[in-house]
Structure 1
């Protein structure tokens, strides 16, 4: 299983969210079998889905607030929803049900952060 996050994914996003053009830059990185790209350093998705199938989402906030992690498939169906834990750095582990493109969101009163992952 290979995971791509950001610019390597399909440009469409579910639930009316507008896609943002990501460019390869200093925040892009290669980890295990995952390509992770994006400009929002406050929200990261990491993991080795090819080995464990488990991913970790982290949200760094200046002002601590409750945060919810939501993962949608390309049709817009919610496949994971859970509260993130921690104080100024919120964290939640998740597992996607199958190969495909997913939108991963962290939502709090401080704002909404989005990442796209492609699981092969």
Structure 2
């Protein structure tokens, strides 16, 4: 991830954004913290709201690398809509072993180059 910073590419993940919300003691962060203490995951709509806020406040065409998002087919389709609205596109997908097969298949169907991390290790 240090290499990303040297290329001026922001690394973003829902977990990282959530940690920021919790450390800032925002209402969103406090709710998420309560859920975590109860062992409950963040609802998909909350994850989308968190990522939406990041996406729409960043500079247009600023480089980024995402981890853990989109994690579901719904999140991928919503993210595609955000990209379309800003006339932006993805340049590639590196799929970790735990990546959703539906998300990987979705981006393959769109013609995006998908590199699987298991292939990188070989």
Q: Which has the higher helix share?
A: 2
Same fold (TM over 0.5): no
The TM-score normalised by the length of structure 2 is: 0.23
By relative contact order (CA 8 Å, sep 6+), the higher-ranking structure is 1
- Structure exhibiting the larger radius of gyration computed from Cα positions: 2
The TM-score normalised by the length of structure 1 is: 0.24
